[in-house]
Amino acid sequence: MGILSLLLWTPAAGVLLLVFIPGQNTHAIRTLANMTTTFAFLLSCGLVSLYDQHNASLQFSEYFPLNPDLGSAYALGIDGLSLPMLVLATLLTSIALLASFTISSSVKGYHICILLLEFGMLGVFLAQDWALFYIFWEVTLIPLFFLIGRWGGKRRHAASLNFVLYTMGGSVFMLISLLAISQYDLEHSGSLMTTMHQAAQDMPRFEQVLVLLGFLCGFGVKMPIFPLHGWLPLAHVEAPSPISILLSGILLKMGAYGLIRVVTMLPEAAHILQPFLVFLALFGMLYGGLLAWRQSDLKAMIAYSSVSHMGIVLLGIATLNETGLTGAVLQMTAHGLIAAALFLLVGLLYERTHTRNIQDYSSLVQVMPRFALLMTLTLLAAMGLPGSVGFIAELHALIGGFQQWGGLMVFFSISILISAAYAMRTIGLLFTGTVKPQMQDIADLKPSEILAAGLLVTGIVLFGLLPASLIELSATTITQMNHQISQRLL
């Protein structure tokens, strides 16, 4: 068994072991689940140390034919695009479990669902076969449906059903697009993902555009792209905070990851749809920012800010140039760390106060200084303050967009100003003023909570001050992807 298979099947092995532990033994269940996710995280860190960042080809590849007639296979591999997402997925799953000690009902089922979700997410980023990719994409729906519907808030059933219907609707369009490409010659050697890249070149331009629109619907629901974002605010507000961490930190990135793969496969169609894509990106950034600005519910604010920040990813993809693609990949990592930290900290605050209304708070810096420090740093990173990883990502996306569209980037700048407005508003309402009587005895963060939030904030600041390692991890792969796009557009 290769290292990629070991990483992929570690959460599944954890699920099998959890099945045999009695449901009443919550300590053993939590310990085993945390050990499983920690082992997966250490494996992903090992991959980073072994990965040759100067080699643009797939590394640690594993290939076992499943259906020779179709060309599908158990094909795994990583490159500079998938590796950062693997590390992010394993890190955030570990942190989500650290934040799950307040879950007291059906603890066994909850942890099984978390590990199944990690299994599906890892499969999406490891798969080098479109059939395998689609299977893992759908696998993530099942545990998320139960995690939101069973352990969510008052409107949890509507939120879980909304999420599944939106995502399954998008998956239908994705499947149609995959079937459309599969009608062409797939006689080439290698995985189905490789052969579909080859087949896409033989398609007429009109069909390429239709296929890309189908993928855009499928991946756009998960990112989410306006106007396919309807499931997001309700799901984030009603989901338990640890699940919101995974939703915002990883699940949204699955859509962006898939879209980058597809744009590389269909660059001519992406070039034709470029004006449409940049409109969706800029409108989504402004729309999400304005809605985040007017929210009084902290989780709803972060949810709408995700629409705005993922618009930056779409903008980077739409540039079809190397700087923009670099910005998109960096923003995927940056938003994963920032949104996860925000949801974690808001969840910890809610457990202490049982309110998410920002108007109920004031001067928390006096009673929760450690919380105030971590929350302030994260909110400053969310508005793209220099010295944070958010600034590095947004700068690359802005430069890539300016190279392509010039003055149109004024709308990008406006969205950044809106982000700064709601971030500073939140800091002001949470941490200034006089202490309200009901907030005087709130406990500050515990050591385990500081560890979980501190890991994320450290990553945000460290990659902001020393971004070279993060940029270089993906640079060779992005250069190769940009070369493939440029060659097809000549």
Q: What is the pLDDT of residues 280-336, one digit of tens each?
A: 999 999 999 999 998 888 998 998 998 999 999 999 999 999 999 999 999 999 999
CA distances from 166 to 140, 173, 222, 230 (A): 14, 11, 9, 8
* Cis bond upstream, residue 204 (ω within 30): no
pLDDT at 443: 84
Spell out, as residue ranges, where the chain has pLDDT lower than 70: 68-71, 185-193
Place of tokens 């930290």: 341
Packing angle of the helix pair 156-182, 205-222 (nearest 10 deg): 160
8 Å CB contact between 58 and 108: no
- Chain-centroid distance of CA 479 in Å reads 22
Of 185, 217, 215, nearest in space to 200 by CA: 185
Q: Looking at residue 20, what DSSP letter applies? A: T
Q: Which long-range contacts (CB under 8 A, 24 or more apart) does 136-141 make?
A: 137/171, 137/174, 137/254, 137/258, 138/171, 140/251, 140/254, 141/167, 141/168
Inter-axis angle of helices 107-126 and 3-19, nearest 10: 160
- In 3-state terms, the chain is what percent helix, strand and coil (to 5)? 75, 5, 20
Question: Which pLDDT value is given to residue 189?
Answer: 52
Residue 234 corresponds to which amino acid? L
Strand partners, 67: 72
Three-class SS state of 243: helix
Residue 55's pLDDT is what?
Answer: 86
Residue 22: alpha-carbon gap to chain centroid = 33
Considering the entire predicted model, what is its pTM? 0.93
DSSP 250: I
Output the average pLDDT for the chain. 89
Q: Which amino acid is at 169?
A: G
* CA–CA separation, 401 and 403 (whole Å): 5
Residues in the chain: 490
- By three-state DSSP, how is residue 105 classified? coil
What pLDDT is attached to residue 439?
Answer: 78
pLDDT digits (tens, 9 = 90+) for 340-367: 999 999 999 988 888 888 888 888 888 8
Tokens representing 353? 């106060």
Which one-letter DSSP state was computed for residue 439? G
